[in-house]
Amino acid sequence: MTQQIFAIVAPLFLIVGVGYLYGVRERPAMDTINSMIMDIFVPALIFHVMIQDDFEPLQYSVLMAAGALVMLGSGIIAFGVARVMGFAWRSFVPPAMFCNWANLGLPLYVFALGEQALGGGIMLVVVGNVMCFTIGTYIYSGKLSGFEVLRTPIIAAVVLGALLNALNVHLPLFVDRPIDMLGQVAIPLMLFSLGVRLTRVSWNDSLAGFVMAALCPIAGVSIALVLVQLLPMPELQRNILILFGVLPPAVINFMLAEQYNRDPEKVASMVMIGNLSSVVTIPLILYFVLAA
């Protein structure tokens, strides 16, 4: 079992580590690469998965609802913790809700559960992005706007992919193959980019960081374990949801906190310490999932 877990997590953290070391050494400007990941490579991955004959979006409806409940439940718990600890809730709640569904989640599902887990993982990325750019931007900014999410290429890929899937439209090979190739770039590049991004966040206000490092997986996994008992889901989707619950805070939290001036240094600490702690928490939850 230990060797199996190591074989799953080692590639993830090695690629993140390479990105981190490269970021420390070269200090590259990653803005263009990050935009390409979210505007080209991830949408290509999502679109290509969704147009496959065996992909049925409706089969993931319960999983998507469960993913939303994990995020909302984690946010409610984080709100209570923020009140008790005296943290500003607008900067503390989002990192508990919006985690590394894409950069770390998609590779984790594939390595741990196989390629068949990619569809469910992608639908959780969609739910997460919708909630992040609606509820998330509202928490950070104090203003409600649903238009941000409509401008994301990921949502365009979902809508177009679902439409072609419903109409049973098959793309010619010379179109399908390059889309597939672009999508295959996404997973390793997301891991590498995560490593580079982590060089730009700090250890300042480490108390909030350590609290978040404990809160994020405990709340997420606990809620997921309750939901898999209550909701009708296949075993594969139950395992995806449990792994979804253990994911650490996403770097997008730092970007939004900086944009809206919501304690960006504190949020950066939560992201950094939360991601470092996942070296321990992810193998622990993997052991539980694989043993079950």
The residue among 282, 252, 269, 278 whose CA lies nearest residue 94 is 252
Question: Which residues form the domain of 230?
Answer: 2-291
DSSP string, 208-236: HHHHHHHHHHHHHHHHHHHHHHHS---HH
By C-alpha distance, which of 267, 140, 281 is closest to 208? 267
- What is the DSSP code string of 25-42? HH----HHHHHHIIIIIH
Residue with tokens 């409509």: 150
pTM over 0.75: yes
Cβ atoms of residues 179 and 171 within 8 Å: yes
The per-residue pLDDT for 161 is: 92
What CATH number is attached to the domain comprising 6? 1.20.1530.20
Estimate to the nearest angstrom the gap between the alpha carbon of 239 and the chain centroid.
Answer: 15
User: ∠ CA 251-278-283 to the nearest 5 degrees?
Assistant: 145
Decide if 121 contacts 105 (C-beta within 8 A): yes
Q: Tell me, rounded to whole angstroms, the distance of Cα 289 from its chain centroid.
A: 19
Residues in the chain: 292
290 touches 4 (CB < 8 A): yes
Assess contact for 83 and 211: CB atoms under 8 A.
Answer: no
* Nearest residue to 43 (alpha-carbon basis) of 122, 149, 127: 122
Query: How many whole angstroms separate alpha carbon 284 and alpha carbon 21?
Result: 26
Dig out the tokens for 149 from the structure: 């999410």
How many domains are contained in the chain?
Answer: 1
Of residues 161, 189, 208, 184, the one with CA closest to residue 36: 189
User: Could you read off the pLDDT tens digit of each residue along the chain, which spans 292 residues?
Assistant: 678 888 888 888 899 899 999 999 998 887 888 889 888 998 999 999 989 878 888 899 999 999 999 999 999 999 999 999 999 999 999 999 999 988 899 999 999 999 999 999 999 998 998 898 889 888 988 877 656 666 788 888 988 998 999 899 999 999 999 999 999 998 899 889 888 888 877 666 688 999 999 999 999 999 999 999 999 999 999 999 999 999 999 888 887 888 788 888 888 889 889 988 999 999 999 998 888 6
Residue 118 CA to residue 270 CA, distance in Å, equals: 27
- Predicted local confidence at residue 286, as pLDDT: 92
- What is the reported pLDDT for 67? 97
d(C-alpha 211, C-alpha 134), whole Å: 25
Alpha helices in 51-172, H assignment, sequence order? 61-85, 89-97, 106-113, 118-131, 137-141, 147-150, 153-166
Do residues 265 and 273 lie in contact, with contact meaning Cβ atoms separated by under 8 Å? no
Question: Could you give the CA distance from residue 140 to residue 134 in angstroms, rounded to a whole number?
Answer: 10
The pair of structure tokens assigned to 63 is 């999983």
193 by DSSP, 3-state: which?
helix
